[in-house]
Copies of this chain bind each other. A is one copy, B any other.
């Protein structure tokens, strides 16, 4: 695995975002960060809640150098996410690595962790834009088809923006890295069991009126 460094769009290394373990998995090219964020479907948000680092799965979307998150204005998590630094992890597991010794078992994965202080989006246009980015990340092609947020819905929703300036990316690929002695001893199978996510055929909502076809963007995604 070769580390590539782009002088155009480097990630900004800081002590808390610089991996210290198994550093050959670390990537420092901004394109790697974008690729992981764009490939993920949900993120895990870390917020400081009553002194505890609480992890919560949530939706997100990326537009350029900004990651958007959203939540209910009534949620303590959203208030906590604005009161201190947060982290956002996006992880894709690509397989289980079977080794010849217990301690060399591993996973193949693509992982991004973004750190920083989130900004509450207050400008109306950017709030709607952020929500569009989140919906389009979860369901590409949907925004223009559906009813946009109402004033009431917007009033009940916080939109958070996190700059992608401090982040780490780790990618593990390939087979096990066994000890020479274990390889030479032979006899034990070693390899990778690849894992991937697949979409199944779309299911109509039970309350869908007859004659409304599945949109092309949903059909295409199910075939992807």
Contact A212 B196 (CB under 8 A): no
Which residues on the B side are within 8 Å of A15 (C-beta)? Answer: 50
A219: nearest chain-B partner, CB-CB? B193
Q: Which size class do A's interface residues fall under?
A: 35 or more
Known contacts A89-B55, A208-B190: A157-B214 contact under CB 8 Å:
no
A52-95 interface bits toward B, Cβ cutoff 8 Å, 1 = contact, 0 = none = 11111101000000000001101110000000111111010100
Contact B202 A191 (CB under 8 A): yes
Known contacts A54-B115, A57-B111: A192-B203 contact under CB 8 Å:
yes
Contact B200 A72 (CB under 8 A): no
Which residues on the B side are within 8 Å of A85 (C-beta)? Answer: 51-53
Q: Complex formed: what's the CA distance from A178 to B109 in Å?
A: 36
Please tell me if A103 contacts chain B, counting CB pairs below 8 Å.
yes
Contact A215 B193 (CB under 8 A): no
Please tell me if A1 contacts chain B, counting CB pairs below 8 Å.
no
Q: Is the interface of A mostly helix, strand, loop or mixed?
A: mixed
Please tell me if A207 contacts chain B, counting CB pairs below 8 Å.
yes
- Min C-beta distance of A148 to chain B, whole Å: 6
A195-216 residues with Cβ-Cβ distance < 8 A to B are 195-209, 212-215
Please tell me if A153 contacts chain B, counting CB pairs below 8 Å.
yes
Which residues on the B side are within 8 Å of A99 (C-beta)? Answer: 146
Q: Complex formed: what's the CA distance from A42 to B105 in Å?
A: 13
